[in-house]
Chains A and B, each alone.
Chain A
Amino acid sequence: MASAKSELVQSRCRVTRAWTSTCLPSGHLVISPDSPQSPVLEIGTDFAATCMITNTDEVTADDLYWTLSGTVVPKEQYTRINKTALSVTVPITSEKREWLLCRCKNVSAYVVLNKGRFMHGIFLTKGYRPGKPENLSCIAVQEERYISPNITCVWEAAGRQTGFVPTTYTLNVRSNIGMYNVSTREKSATVSVGLFPNHETLDIWVEAHNTLGKVESEHLKEEANWFVKTNPPSDVRVISERTFPTSLLINWAHPIDEVYVKLTYEIRFCPSGSQNWTYVPLVDTAKGIQSFRLQNLQPDTVYVTQVRCKNAIERGYWSNWSTNATERTPEDRPRSKPDLWKIITEDESTARQVWFICKDPVLSNGRIIRFDIKIQDHKDRVKNRSGELESIPVNRSKADPSPSQQKITILKQISLDDKKSVEVYVTAVNSVGKSPEASLVITEKVNELPTVKDLKVQRNGGQLCLEWKPPARPVSEYVVEWVSGSRIDWQREKGSTKNTVIKGSLEKFVSYTVSVYPLYSGVTGKPASKEAFLEEGVPLIGPAVKLKGKPGCNEAELVWNEIPQHSRRGFITNYTIFYTSGTKTHNITVPANTTSYTLKSLSRSTKYDTWVIASTIRGSKRGFNHSFTTLKYGTGEIEGIVVGVCLSFLFVVLLTMLLCIYKKDVIKDNFWPRIPNPGESTIGNWSPDYPLKTETPKENCLSGISVLDVDVCDGKCGSEDDKASLPLKKDKYLSEEHSSGIGGSSCMSSPRQSVSDSDEGGDMADTTASTVQYSSVVASSNGYKGQTPNFQPQQAIFSRSESTQPLLDSEENPDMLLQEGSRQSQHFSRQPSFTHTAGNEDSADPADFNQLEMEQQVLEPLDFCPLEEETTPTDGQSADGLPAALVSSYMPQLGGYRPQ
């Protein structure tokens, strides 16, 4: 028995050697069930296999174990059947194919050496049972005059399938004379039955099958025509009959002979250009008819008609719709009034220009060929209704696709006095007849009836919505008018309406003036109006800015034009002015009603770029740049400067002239000094005892030459008032023999003689060594030395200053000044000491001058020159660079007393 089994294993392995190397002819393990070697397992089930040991006693069932995809199966899933058999149960969960191996532990050297003999496996292929096909449907279409014998069916596959266990579908069709089928792995198939079995019963179903099983769909057992889809009706024709303006007759032909399929029809129609189809009830077309009359249509309207058909039995497939059959219904007389309206323009005159306009009647029922208009005075209406009837022909092209109700015809223009009112009657006429009469009353301007209140115009969902409160008086009708530029349109609303939407075609970004007119039994009331945009946008162009006039030094006035209405595309919310000089940009926002602005605080002589942007709620648009340059000088500024300079110059000239006039004597003395006549000189009689008094004029004459030294001193001492210097010069001139160190006012207070002449420098040391003075008055001893080689000691006056100011260092340290004094003495050896005092500004004091002059007269023999005390050194008089004049002012002590 064992031998037979082994033989069986060996033969099986020969067969399957190609796909498993583990199965050897002399193997000691075998798995059951292992036929086929690649079992197909259903996912979701458990699979049990048994491993048996054959032809050996080396191992027992206890030495066996299972692996699935290389993973050892837990021992809990093992079942030891006997000493040589071990079974395992594994759940089939995943879709992947895998190996289930029975293996043996290495319990002996024989097992190790013959490992291949102690291993056996099977390859598990997994899949799902086929799902039941659902929603089976079949169709057979018409081909030429017959129904195609090819029946196409589709279905939905239920359940899942794996690639290793595919599901095959077989479509079966059974008729009275045979059975037809076709197999596929798709979800649709076409089976040919040779000849379509009209009127026979067909049994159609789908069978799904794979290696795990098979299942059938529900059977479709229906008459064959149930699956038929015919062609749409052919030769659909629409006939218009003049005597029936509201009717059209439709004829068509059966797409297939009735002996094959008895059909029912469906008809739909709509006005040309519309997609709102009207369907004829099926009960009216259920029979196998070939014509039908459409009724209650609009006259003179093009209708599009389509027909389709299907099997007359309860179920079946509708054919496609037939191609469009188009026909226009005959004309009928207009059944509604023309839409009469007016345009009134007013100017300064007392007459209004009135245009009467109208649209075709809504139910024009044909092509309007003319309008009959009659205008009469409103007050005469009751008396005489028969005004002059005027016909206004209109030429409408039938090729024009736009509805005639949207066309506006200008009927007549009249000039109407503000105090007059008229009533207008209009009828529209087509080729069949005339319409009911429309009327409109234009009242006197002063008697306009009340308007609506609180008109609001809002955008909502791409439409303009209007809302208003009705006037107190009952309104029969409202006219909503919208005007954009030269375009006008209007619509009528019932008297009970309080809100509406504009039904006309509005354009985006266009400004509309929306007005609501109440009509009181045909009499128009005063309108209420609002501006509105259907949608706002960014302006197309920006404001063009320019300067108004010329720019100033610090300001410039800008002006800009309003953006044209058609370019605004929205309400301007504000303007923003930008200006920049290149470094910093400034902006100013001004209201929308502003068109000019003055820029201020601009810099002089600066180039500015400026531009203006206009803003709407949707955005802004920048205008072009404009550049300007501010002026360096304002208007009249140059003239002012010139005038100022001229005036100043004139003033100076005048002042100079006045000075010259008033001080002509001084000037004369300075520029044309009196030169003493040498012939009158008393030098010949000079003696030391000769009183100085008589010589003073002579000295003065000579000292006048020293005026040149004063000029030099002026240059060294900085600014000096000429005016002040004049008396001083005069004083010097008068006191040529005298010099004062400090304190001119007190120079005459003491008769002590001051020594300032550098020529007597050697004597000065002796004098100053024992004397400390606040100031000293030095009698000038130089001058015309030749003429006065010896100074009169008794004539020298020493004056002690009353000033409390301490002496300068140079005064307190005569040693330091000694040498310098010597140098200066040498340097100024030819300069009279009084010339240095000319730098004292204080000496310009006229009081001092007068006093001096007076004293000069009183003390003429002394003839000392007062020297002002210099209290504060100027910048040019620093200690280091002490001017020679100042130094010499403190030098009297150096000289000491002039030797008598």
Chain B
Amino acid sequence: MNGHVKSMHFQQFMEPAATLLSLLLVMAVDSTRTVSASRNPGCNSLQQTLKLTRLVEKESVDLIKTYKVSQGEMSELFCKVSVNDVPDSNISGLEPSEWIVSIFTHLQAFFPHFKRVYEQQTDLQSPTSPLLAELTTVSTRSRSLAAFISSFYQGLFPNLPVPEPAGGPTTLPPPKNVFQQKVYGCVVLKTYKEFLSNVSQKLRTLKPKVCRRRMQINTLFFF
């Protein structure tokens, strides 16, 4: 009889415990399913941005090669000359929110220079020159990259103000001779390539934080 009573008490405790355990199990399964399904949108956005950055970086490298080939003799010297009024390749800001905005602003700053280089090279190259096509490609990709950066930033910092394109007119160098145009073009492309390298580096530093955080959440949830 006593044994039977003890058994009854045990059963009374077991029912809520089983219910709680079932609930936790369902939540865990549901959380896992959600994470695996969405695969962390911030991480995905970062990865996409990184891929596109590397793509533009690679294309900018190819562009510089094509540029040097298309400029004739002494093309190696063109890129060693420093030119003013070209955006800096360095990214400013310490916090991610700051340097992401800096990246976006720099990207915006390069677009007029790409346009100027394209115009200058249009006069110097034949219409079928691969340089013009690659210039167009890099310019287009850079605009996409800017859109990616903006989107990533909004996803990462939804409460911060959306980065806006530079409001004022970009300072472009005055018209120069052909040599100076060639030097200018090479410096712009070289600087842009360095800038993209910095962007990649910066974004990679962010990857562990953005992508691991969710993984840690899952890990914490299970243990």
A residues apposed to B, CB below 8 Å: 175-177, 194-195, 197-201, 223, 257, 259-260
Contacts and interface: CB of A to CB of B under 8 A. Distances in A.
Nearest to A145: B62
Pick the most buried of B51, B59, B136, B141: most chain A CB atoms within 10 A of its CB. Answer: B51
A223 B48 contact: yes
Nearest to A197: B144
A57 to B, nearest CB: 73
A198 B55 contact: yes
B51 A199 contact: yes
A362 B144 CA distance: 62
Nearest to B140: A195
Interface string B47-83: 0100110110111000000000000000000000000
B204 to A, nearest CB: 14
Q: Which 4 A-B pairs have the closest CB atoms?
A: A199-B51, A259-B55, A259-B58, A176-B147
B37 to A, nearest CB: 12
15 contacts: A176-B148, A176-B151, A194-B140, A195-B136, A195-B137, A195-B140, A197-B144, A198-B51, A198-B52, A199-B51, A200-B48, A200-B52, A223-B48, A257-B58, A259-B55
B207 interface: no
A260 B57 CA distance: 11
Interface of B: 48, 51-52, 54-55, 57-59, 136-137, 140-141, 143-144, 147-148, 151
A198 B54 CA distance: 11
Nearest to B52: A199
A829 to B, nearest CB: 160
A199 to B, nearest CB: 4
Name B's interface SS: helix
A199 B140 CA distance: 14
Contacts of B51: 198-199, 259
A195 B141 contact: yes
A199 B55 contact: yes
B140 to A, nearest CB: 5
Nearest to B150: A176
Contact of A176 (B58, B137, B144): B144
Pick the most buried of A195, A199, A200: most chain B CB atoms within 10 A of its CB. Answer: A199
Contacts of B151: 176
Contacts of B147: 176-177
B48 A199 contact: yes
Contacts of B59: 259
B52 to A, nearest CB: 5
B154 to A, nearest CB: 13
A228 to B, nearest CB: 13
Nearest to B45: A201
B200 to A, nearest CB: 11
A195 B51 CA distance: 16
Nearest to B59: A259
A829 B140 CA distance: 168
A56 to B, nearest CB: 70
A223 B144 CA distance: 14
B108 to A, nearest CB: 14
A527 B222 CA distance: 74
A213 B57 CA distance: 47
Contacts of A223: 48
A198 B48 CA distance: 9
Contacts of A197: 144
Contacts of B143: 177
Contacts of A201: 48
Contacts of A194: 140
A226 to B, nearest CB: 12
Pick the most buried of B58, B136, B144: most chain A CB atoms within 10 A of its CB. Answer: B144
A365 to B, nearest CB: 47
Contacts of A257: 58
A175 B145 CA distance: 12
Contacts of A176: 144, 147-148, 151
Contacts of B58: 257, 259
B22 to A, nearest CB: 32
Contacts of B140: 177, 194-195
B33 to A, nearest CB: 16
A146 to B, nearest CB: 8
Nearest to A176: B147
A223 B48 CA distance: 9
A257 B136 CA distance: 19
Contacts of B55: 198-199, 259-260
B144 A177 contact: yes
A259 B57 CA distance: 9
A223 B57 CA distance: 20
B29 to A, nearest CB: 21
A199 B53 CA distance: 10
Nearest to A175: B144
Contacts of B148: 176, 200
B58 to A, nearest CB: 4
Contacts of B137: 195
A194 to B, nearest CB: 7
A260 B151 CA distance: 20
Contacts of B136: 195
Contacts of B57: 259
Given A198-B51, A199-B55, 19 more contacts: A176-B144, A176-B148, A176-B151, A177-B140, A177-B143, A177-B144, A177-B147, A194-B140, A195-B136, A195-B141, A199-B48, A199-B51, A199-B52, A200-B144, A223-B48, A257-B58, A259-B55, A259-B57, A259-B58
A779 to B, nearest CB: 167
A622 B100 CA distance: 99
A633 B147 CA distance: 123
B137 to A, nearest CB: 6
A766 B59 CA distance: 176
A195 B136 CA distance: 9
Nearest to A194: B140
A558 B52 CA distance: 98
Contacts of A195: 136-137, 140-141
A175 to B, nearest CB: 8
A201 B51 CA distance: 13
A106 B54 CA distance: 87
Contacts of A260: 55
A198 to B, nearest CB: 6
A200 B141 CA distance: 10
